[in-house]
A = this chain, B = another copy of it.
Amino acid sequence: MSGPTRIPGRVPAAPPTLADVAERAGVSRQTVSNAVNNPELLRPDTLTRVQEAIAELGYLPNRAARNLRTRSSHLIGLRFSPAQEGTANATMDRFVHSLVETSREAGYHVLLFSGDPRDPLAGYDDLLRSTAVDAFVVTDTYLGNPQARWLETRRAPFVAFGRPWDKPDAPHAWVDVDGAAGCELATTHLIERGHRRIAWIGWRKDSWIGEDRRAGWTRAMRAHGLATTGLASRVEDTVHSGRSASAVLLDEADPTAFVCASDTLAMGVLHTLEERGRTPGRDVAVVGFDDSQVAQVVRPGLTSVRQPLEQVAVEIVEALSGLLGHPPRPPRQVLLTPTLALRGSS
């Protein structure tokens, strides 16, 4: 009398369970469990017998049961925000892929969730309370990050992609890319190319990231004894702002090169140059930030600071497995250095 739910052929055959494997291998359930999780506990001959049974039945542990027993889901929650329309930002795509890939190697999967963009906490609470994820990767830390503080009080494991700007010595784990170093790299590259009047177009002053990137430009200029006065502009992150800011700068300070806080702004500069009949890369150099697809396909190719997102993912997963390990390792803070993708615009 097999139960009415298992009629092979009609209903998809139920996947084999530990008990099925145990029966086939002539051992107990626990032994099969050990064969899977602690193979060194078994005598070699028993181990191979069990492994054969596993292979023959195509057994794979049931996630739900394992999760229930171990109180962990081996899932990492990531709030997925799409790139804004009309900008060149495309970090998420590359980052998410790297994260998925790296997580897999560490035995984790990535669970996406969404939330009201106006409420940074939306979504986190439910997943946590229903024990749906083991940890979070928090990405949108650009304006303070209430998420981090909230997760800390909830004692929920998480790693932030982005520094806690509002509280630099916050103890939680984070991984970030040194935007200042990136812009310094870009500026130095331009100086080496012979440029002296290098302008900066960045974001409004309340953007920590923007100010950080700007500091890289300042640092490089100062290091080479070059003046920065009158050469900086701070605007919204749109193509249009980049265009008008560069037009003003060209009129007032006649720079021979631009370093921008984003590819979006850099595109604005390219627009201005085109309007004025000046060739990017020959007449005026332009460097963007993020190495977006736009930078790669636009003429003549936009030199851009490229974040090492693959390595960011590796470090994040490393930090996560530290937090979730037994015993847990203390949270780490990692700052990575970006590279410069050289193209025709410089």
Contacts and interface: CB of A to CB of B under 8 A. Distances in A.
A96 interface: yes
A112 interface: yes
Say which size band chain A's interface belongs to.
Answer: 35 or more
Given A131-B62, A131-B64, A113 B92 contact: no
Contact of A15 (B87, B89, B129, B292): B129
A248 B234 CA distance: 44
A62 B58 contact: no
Interface in A178-225: none
Contact of A114 (B65, B82, B100, B294): B100
A264 B297 contact: yes
A6 interface: no
Contacts of A227: none
Contact of A297 (B65, B71, B87): B87
A318 interface: no
Complex copy number for this chain = 2
A12 B73 CA distance: 17
A63 B58 contact: no
Given A111-B111, A293-B294, A63 B271 contact: no
A226 interface: no
Given A63-B67, A294-B294, 16 more contacts: A12-B155, A15-B129, A62-B131, A64-B68, A65-B68, A80-B100, A82-B93, A82-B97, A83-B90, A96-B112, A104-B113, A109-B111, A112-B112, A274-B299, A293-B293, A298-B298
The 7 closest A-B CB pairs, nearest first, are A64-B67, A82-B97, A64-B68, A60-B129, A12-B155, A60-B130, A110-B112
13 contacts: A12-B156, A61-B130, A64-B65, A68-B68, A80-B100, A82-B94, A83-B94, A90-B90, A92-B93, A111-B112, A112-B112, A293-B294, A294-B298
